[in-house]
Structure 1
């Protein structure tokens, strides 16, 4: 083995020497000057250019016969295309590296469809853009040594990936090793041309390690020994034994005991300027820069989400406030605060289509001096196409509003594709964009729309959030829905924390006890302090509680404070805040309830009960009896009550509105019974007694419907409410019903009374909807004003009609949360 290893070494050395490569001569060189480095980097960039040209020449012609026009000329910039035409360039080998990189990047999708191309090669190609820019116009001082070595790594891997020769790859790798050992000296020219610079005394501290003796920068007399070193977010954290205990410090707080601290005396003006500059470059997490940056009333609780967002480790937040608290304003304040702290260029708002039609978000954002553009289907397809062409989301639509209705299969996967078709001949999908678009912030209104993870809306929102720096979800419902719905939202929002359902359940388990403890403290019920302690201790016994809550200093502080005999009001308020911060999702969710803001938003609700007239009750009962009989024949008495739910609700909503449709209901059921192949025609014939009974029931039902008296106590009660409201200065009323037949009946009756009404449902076009809202907002004295708006559930989602202070539910929705919304 020893002899074989010796022969191998000799063989390699002889091979290197026989190549007579000038790079080998640099092995003993202790330094390199800038001119040498620039020369070598230029040589290696030329090798990369030749390599990429050969690679593209071997692959692009196989895509199609018109490859030069479609894959080369169409993918060049305007300047590059003009140069190709003016210089009569007809070969890839005549182009520079910048043009070749652009061609390869823009043609990657076509190439990937024909050849197996690993993603690592794509990443290497993208990295070459930066390397080329670093050295294309290099003059004066070159990049730092670390940057040069990184660029050489990129060039080396690029050369390997795209088929450079073994000798070329060896040259690049060898030069990097030589550079790593060498000291870089300025070139002669740069030394003579550069004016002398004043010497700056910079003393680099040695590396702080375990068992190092350190002192505080703020007070060098305080000294200690480092016990452990760790890294958090790129910053070193040190556990230091100091004054008899272990304390935590960060890299900018301590120095080695032997290091000499240099102090520079300045006057007051310089100090103030330095502190101001530091504050501007390092925004405080306890101050809001957007406090007076919008045309809104100052409502303190609406700034809570913005404060929580800037303090979060990751800027992603679910705002789950009660209805009417002002989630849109809170989202606007978050956006304004983010703009005050950094460059925010691309922002998407996703919301229900009715809110786009009524320009709710568009107008609300104007109060924050932001202009958002609503996007329709053709525009969104063009945006995706432009993003594919340019590699970035179009600047014109940097602030866009997209309705959920556009988040479909076609948006995700594209349309019109066929086998062998090229992508430029189709409408591309989001998932085909490479690179994916980047967003500074994504705001998702009514986020419960994506609670079903099997929908295209969910997939589209997840894709957009995965490529966004900041995400804000708005919804009033997740804490009222099941755990699965909340898991889905938080998993999209923070997939790095909410990894899977099991993790979510483990994290959520102590929250019941945390909420109970906060409730005891807030209400000051008997023995509230003991009950709160008991609940907190229960939370600490859970798996998450043992690992996270129990070691938390806030938990220990709260337990200690709750043991005091006399707790002041200020301490109790702080306790509520501290205990709620122990909630495992407190950093991801902001929850402001209506009761938390006292009487800022007041809702007075009351019910008006009316009874059926004898004729209405008879029609109601006979209709349900007929339906139950028909369904029992069709479905053999299985799940009859469940199948009758909708008709029961319709009949209870408005029997007058349903009466005109009784004949159609009877005919449909009779046809279904007669056409059902499972029913024996001989056993169930027109002469059969059961059929005669069934027919008699249908005939009686039809007679009741056609002869129903006009007396309607429920409508009369509604009319009394309307008459009282119309006598007030603000006479606006919104009436909800789940069923269109009910609204049709109400509209006919109210129109007969010369009341100014209109109806909005899912069939109303966006432009008409916006016009109706404008007329509804007009003063009652305006002849074009609308006094009463009728809404269905579909047409009412996301409404923001704060100028209207009366809402009537003519029937109750199946989901009680609809009333809350």
Structure 2
């Protein structure tokens, strides 16, 4: 039992932030400790009180309650209390007694040496976990693909390349214009994730069409662990300040009074209203274009956005004399936001004016007028044509070399310099500075698509007389109020036979209406006894995840997933190869979205598209219009929306009533002519220069390989040790997944762990197939939060352990010292590019010699074992002067060693920043797409980096005293 005496000073091992405690009361089983620094008390059981005695030694500096600093010269004891003989700093002759009851209360043991010498010891396992966390943190900061490894995405080269190019810019302002199906949302998410992780951006606003709000929300959460707040009118009203009538009258009186007093100065204008801005309540906000059209746009624009993202930007209509209201509202925000991402799959297909309007939003100074843009574009096509020839032709003709020399007079034009010449041409013309566009022409890896039309007779019950209600013709089953239609609809009979013929294959079924999906699911499940799942908009996210996971399960999962239209949004089912379209949407883009659930890079087989339709019916009209008119099933159709606009007058009348085949043939013929015209126009306008600047296959392969290598470095083994230490319950889910739940002994909330638990996988393949699992990477919030928690706590900073090695004499003393070199800097400076947290390890013998080269940390840890705390404290107490002397001398050596690392980081920073600054200035002289803001930001960044790197420090982060014992 520990001997306590009232008045003694003790420290709480679990709550060192309470300061120095004083024993107030005790009885045979309890001890009460007061903590004057925080004016709190704690009562502990005497037998297991988490307290350690604070005793200072000769030479230590102590602080009294009245803030006087004294140096201890002698330690005496009186009635169980320590009395220190000490003198003020610099006055050794002025010796005075200081009872420990007079010591100051604000003892802060933050350094590893402080904690060691005051016997604030952690276990051996905590020390080893802290060292591993330091090394992991160091490795992540040194990663060349930081920001790319965390998202749940396929490793697709062009997406990674664009993210790598854009996300490293200061406040990027670019147009992401990849063709339909190439993943613009993924690219935007990667850029957002990297900008937020690096600290370049903190506040983001995403504006999307209303039907895409849910899809974006799910994509950002599931793929990037970014939790956006959806703002609509209801949420905005809830955030508005609630002011009483009395307060409103008082404010009006104050405003009128202020206006009167300042009338002579401001011409009588009332002071600006000072309501709190509700858009400052969240960092990441997602809203619809409909909400944007109704909200206070000046208030929204004033919310200090680092990055604005606008999806489907081609819907923002603009004309020189009549820009749309939507366009002007986006422009209001874009002028104040530092960065801007515009997403559109049809950047130029809606005309040169529309394309100019998008670029004008990105940089109005660079694109001041439509006339100047037309002039620039007239010369640009010649450069694009030249770039294509230089890239494609193995041997360059004399005329081709002469044309290249005319544009690049300062370079030697030779096939040997092909890459350098193309790179310089791209830089000087610079389309990739503001715009990225990839098409299926320059991206490989997509599957073939095959369509199978199944004509079926129209049931008598489906005959619909109205010529006005188009819905009844396109979806005749909606005329019924229950599932009776399933027994008479030949599409259902056909689907039953199809399921039986493809029992071992996954089938995705999409229909427009939720009630159609639920009726069909009930019929197949309960009346036909088939194993099918369901997915529709009335299900919550957890239910949808379970349905998708059930469908993805190869062993016991559902054969088919029956979806309403929402099944074509935000989910990828590329493990399935059969797509059944029970009906067809009127919107060509929606049809492409449906097919896009299977038609993705990574699809391993050709896609079989099955379309059962009724003969002589609106469904046949749509099938033939899509298939024969525009070839929309078997090939992507980026011009689909324009084709619809030009043929809808002929199409829509045929969707009501009983169409004649001659009218259908005429529609198909007209649509084919329009489609051929638009496709030819798009192909002839194909921009080779833009394609070349949008994708570098060599760099893309490097990124893919680096990410594949990172996938092999799973954080799970490290995190399992963290879970054990913090009391998180773990349960195996499968070979590649684990279930985590809060344990009964968890003291505090664990980062990223909900009360209901979570399932995690460190397998990218599993994560892509199972939306209900989270993808555990070194960039996952649970991992980054755990590292931050570990490294900001004091546990593991000091430990004593027993070394069992028969080759080492018992009683041998070793000291393992772990130092870190850190540059304290704001995240957005990204100082860790040049000086990441760097770990220095020293292993000292009793003479202070560094023998770390002889044995590694891991090798040593395998031989180190737990030592009881009383014995540990006794060893530290007996060796305190030696430990203090050895560690202080060693820290001086570590600081000197760190100086070389810091100087090297400064030199690297000066070279890289100087090179990039010179490149941007030279490029700006040739290509005005390089903004002044980028150059100014780089110069300011360089100046700030010079300061923070010069102030980098080396400090002792953890120390372990090792005493050799028996084998």
Common fold, TM-score beyond 0.5? no
Query: Based on CA coordinates, which of the two structures has the bigger radius of gyration?
Result: 1
Larger RCO: 1 or 2 (CA < 8 Å, sep 6+): 2
Normalised by the length of structure 2, the TM-score is 0.35
TM-score (norm 1): 0.41
| Structure in which a larger fraction of residues adopt strand | 2
